[in-house]
Amino acid sequence: MSNKTAIVIGAGIVGLATARALAVKGYKVTVIERNTKAVGASIRNFGMVWPVGQPTGKLYERAMRSRAIWKAIADASDIWYDECGSMHLAYHEDEWTVLNELQDAFKNAGRSSTLVTPEAIQSKYQYINNNNLIGGLYSPAEMIVNPRKAIPAVALFLAEKYRVEFVWEVAISSIQGNKVFYGDKYSVADIIFVCSGADFETLYPDYFKQLPITKCKLQMMKYSLQNNSDRIGTAVCGGLSLIHYNSFKEAKSLYLLKQRFENELQEYVSNGIHVMVSQNDDGDLIVGDTHEYGHTFDPFDKHHLNKLIEAYLSEICVINSWQQTETWHGIYPKMTDGSTEIFLKVAENIFILNGIGGAGMTLSFGLAEEIIDNM
């Protein structure tokens, strides 16, 4: 057992994943979070652990490793999860062509997926709109958690299993050498990880300015069902999602689909809208989302963008009994040069781990494990 100590700044999913990886290696870990609980992008998402969106190779393997860790933690701590997979729907011939190409590409890569007929979809999924439906591509790899419950539950699990100490309501003012300062006090550790999302800009503004990085604001909504015991049965995606994820670029005809969307759904494309639905353990339906990039955002959500999402949602799901109960937005850092994460050594014992974009729930556990294993 190592007697080394570590401090992790930030109790979102990246911070929790880093704390876990360090604790597994024998570090005595302290997580410092400026809020009373995690309140950022880590709890403001679909709760989707989403391997299907990652390209074949390192990132897909990382996603599958993250999924395995999520499941192991959930099984050990009674965190709810649903291995419901994902259904990607085609209502136009060009969408169906892309799904067929993806099926071939996934099969060649040893990834599991299945093309599904409208009849099979209708018999199994009561809330998928069967009007004009040509078919779907089902992937079994995707898993849903409820991030509002799962993120604090993972913190509790780490505290109980690995004796990770969590310090809440403490804002870090600076890091100097092996000391983390908060006000006129400080803590000392052998290794320090800054995992505070876009907020690392306040600790290291010069590094932030030099990085090819921006921020992304996404708008989301929650709906309830008239009968909250009903299940939609899988995570549901419309055709717009096909132009959002890098794994779908393997489809040779994707550029033609993107051209049609740019011509026919220009406002959707320009606002980064693609429409997906997940369902949590309370029966709530989480729907989104938009993607607005920049460094400063209007704090007020745009109602017309939510109406665009809802209009498209009505084309892929039967929503006449759905009632909207919440709207919100989240903000996360996003690399602009195609990089999939930030891992910077800013001093001998100080590291920044960040910039996973919108894939934190999918990639964080695997990424943190890889980094700590290789240190």
- pLDDT at residue number 340: 92
Q: Which amino acid is at 298?
A: D
Residue 180: C-alpha distances to residues 3, 11, 23, 183, 364 (Å): 19, 16, 19, 10, 23
| pLDDT at residue 142, as a whole number | 98
CATH code of the region 86-140+213-335: 3.30.9.10
- Do the Cβ atoms of 91 and 76 come closer than 8 Å? no
For the domain covering 5-47+148-211+340-373, report its CATH number: 3.50.50.60
Q: What is the pTM of this model?
A: 0.96
pLDDT of residue 141: 98
- The closest of 172, 202, 200 to 187, measured between CA atoms, is 172
Determine contact, residues 224/323, Cβ cutoff 8 Å.
Answer: yes
Under a CB-based contact definition with an 8 Å cutoff, are residues 154 and 73 in contact?
A: yes
Per-residue pLDDT tens, the chain, 375 aa: give them. 568 999 999 999 999 999 999 999 999 999 999 999 999 999 999 999 999 999 999 999 999 999 999 999 999 999 999 999 999 999 999 999 999 999 999 999 999 999 999 999 999 999 999 999 999 999 999 999 999 999 999 999 999 999 999 999 999 999 999 999 998 899 999 999 999 987 888 899 998 889 999 999 999 999 999 888 899 999 999 999 999 999 999 999 999 999 999 999 999 999 999 999 999 999 999 999 999 999 999 999 999 999 999 999 999 999 999 999 999 999 999 999 989 999 999 999 999 999 888 899 999 999 999 999 999
pLDDT at 48: 97
CATH 3.50.50.60 residue ranges in the chain? 5-47+148-211+340-373
Q: What is the predicted pLDDT for the residue at 200?
A: 85
- What does R_g of the chain's alpha carbons equal in angstroms? 21
Q: Are residues 23 and 372 in contact, defined by beta-carbon separation less than 8 angstroms?
A: no
**Sequence ranges of the chain with CATH classification 3.30.9.10:** 86-140+213-335
Residue 142 CA to residue 87 CA, distance in Å, equals 10
Burial class (CB in 10 A: 0-12, 13-18, 19+), 98: buried
Q: What is the pLDDT of residue 3?
A: 86
pLDDT at 300: 95
Cα torsion angle, 314, 216, 44, 113, sign: positive
What do you get for the CA distance between the two ends of the chain, in Å? 16
Partners of 355 in the β-ladder: none
- Residues 187, 188, 194, 200, CA torsion sign: positive
Contacts with 172 (C-beta within 8 Å, 6 or more apart), sequence order: 9, 32, 34, 180, 181, 182, 203
321: part of which helix (H) or strand (E)?
Answer: none
Check residue 355 and give its pLDDT: 84
